[in-house]
């Protein structure tokens, strides 16, 4: 019957979908590897940068009269959320969890009487949030990490955010990104980038010693030019590094999430092919039996 033909087409289409999902899984796996390597390679810079900031801030006089990036505006009325998502979908709950967390935070902050603005990194997040929070979006950055996350991407984002901060558009900026735990687990993590949260000052000199430095804990550095000027240059640098790290984590998470999602899809397609083949065979057998009965009962009637 016609049913057999539809079943056959159905099986064929599921099989080709399976091929696509399994190819996407493989691509995601290799991208994940690269993203993880990039995240590891970025670690020394971030660590040393943090140590320098901590060292400069260990002088309380400097820390107290720090620049605005450190001290903040003295208010937390206007909050900027920076959800980091991907440009492309088919990555399981990767983008949806970020969007959900962003919505939750918006509701929470607005309940506290604060103004919320959004700066979306990644097309998917912007698309999803535009529907109900379109008026809050003050910027969108897309096309990040198509060929691996570059430091210039982080620079662009950080410069835009700092520019907006200096223009007085917000008081506090928080990044929301997926922290990479494993291919099957990514955790939405908030990271406040403005005002800069000082690295743990006590831990820093000890960390330096542990890294193989012979100098006594809390070595006294000379600063050239002054501590204030170094801090002025360090803080935006540190901000760029933090944005870069978040982008790297997010990129690793994206590929991990996509790999898992595509693995599941491939498996589901396999199950479906199994079921469809079973139905196909049953139907075929039923048809044969029916034809046989017809022939036999025809012969008997004679």
Partner 1 sequence: MADTGSQKIQFDLVTPTALSVSEPVDMVVVPGAEGDIGALPGHTPLITTLRPGLVDIHNGGHVTQSFFVIGGFAEVTPERVTVLAESVEAVANISAQDAQARLTTAREALAGASVEGLAAAQAQVTAAEALVQAVTLRRAA
Binding residues vs partner 1 (CB under 8 A): 38, 41-42, 44-46, 48-49, 51-52, 55-56, 151, 154-155, 213-215, 219-225, 229-230, 233-234, 237, 240-241, 244
The nearer residue to partner 1, 101 or 232, going by C-beta atoms, is 232
Residues 6+ apart with CB under 8 A from 90: 24, 258, 261, 262
The nearer residue to partner 1, 52 or 176, going by C-beta atoms, is 52
Closest distance between partner 1 and the C-beta of residue 42, in Å? 6
The nearer residue to partner 1, 56 or 257, going by C-beta atoms, is 56
The nearer residue to partner 1, 4 or 216, going by C-beta atoms, is 216
Is the CB of residue 83 less than 8 Å from the CB of residue 129? yes
> What's the CA gap between 293 and 290, in Å, rounded?
5
Closest distance between partner 1 and the C-beta of residue 68, in Å? 18
The nearer residue to partner 1, 89 or 237, going by C-beta atoms, is 237
Burial class for 237, CB neighbours closer than 10 Å (0-12, 13-18, 19+): middle
> What's the CA gap between 229 and 103, in Å, rounded?
39
Closest distance between partner 1 and the C-beta of residue 216, in Å? 10
The nearer residue to partner 1, 168 or 225, going by C-beta atoms, is 225
> What's the CA gap between 166 and 64, in Å, rounded?
19
The two structure tokens encoding residue 244: 């870069």
Closest distance between partner 1 and the C-beta of residue 15, in Å? 41
> What's the CA gap between 30 and 38, in Å, rounded?
13
Closest distance between partner 1 and the C-beta of residue 48, in Å? 6
Closest distance between partner 1 and the C-beta of residue 239, in Å? 12
Cα distances from 7 to residues 132, 192, 231, 272, in angstroms, run 41, 54, 69, 12
Region of 182 on the Ramachandran plot (φ > 0 left; ψ -120 to 50 alpha; else beta): beta
């Amino acid at each position: 019957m016609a049913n057999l033909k539809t079943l056959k087409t159905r099986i064929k289409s599921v099989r080709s979908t399976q091929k696509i999902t399994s190819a996407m899984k493989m691509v995601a796996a290799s991208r994940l590897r690269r993203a993880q390597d990039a995240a590891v390679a970025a670690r020394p810079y971030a660590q040393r940068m943090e140590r320098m900031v901590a060292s400069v801030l260990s002088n309380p006089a400097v820390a107290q009269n720090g620049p605005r990036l450190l001290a903040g505006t003295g208010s937390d009325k206007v909050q900027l959320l920076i959800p980091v998502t991907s440009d492309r979908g088919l990555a399981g709950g990767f983008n949806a969890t970020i969007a959900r967390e962003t919505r939750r935070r918006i509701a929470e902050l607005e309940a506290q009487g604060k103004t919320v603005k959004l700066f979306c990194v990644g097309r998917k997040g912007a698309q999803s949030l535009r529907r109900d929070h379109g008026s809050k979006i003050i910027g969108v950055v897309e096309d990040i990490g198509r060929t691996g996350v570059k430091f210039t991407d982080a620079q662009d984002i950080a410069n835009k955010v700092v520019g907006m901060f200096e223009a007085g558009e917000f008081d506090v900026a928080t990044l929301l990104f997926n922290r990479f735990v494993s291919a099957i687990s990514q955790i939405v993590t908030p990271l406040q980038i403005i005002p800069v949260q000082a690295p743990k000052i006590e831990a820093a000199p000890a960390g330096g010693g542990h890294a193989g430095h012979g100098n006594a804990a809390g070595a006294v550095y000379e600063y050239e030019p002054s501590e204030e000027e170094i801090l002025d240059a360090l803080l935006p640098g540190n901000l760029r590094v933090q944005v870069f790290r978040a982008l790297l984590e997010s990129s690793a998470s994206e590929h991990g999430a996509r790999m898992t999602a595509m693995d599941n899809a491939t498996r589901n397609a396999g199950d479906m092919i199994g079921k469809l083949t079973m139905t196909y065979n049953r139907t075929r057998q039923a048809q044969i039996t029916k034809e046989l009965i017809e022939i036999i009962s025809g012969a008997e009637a004679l």
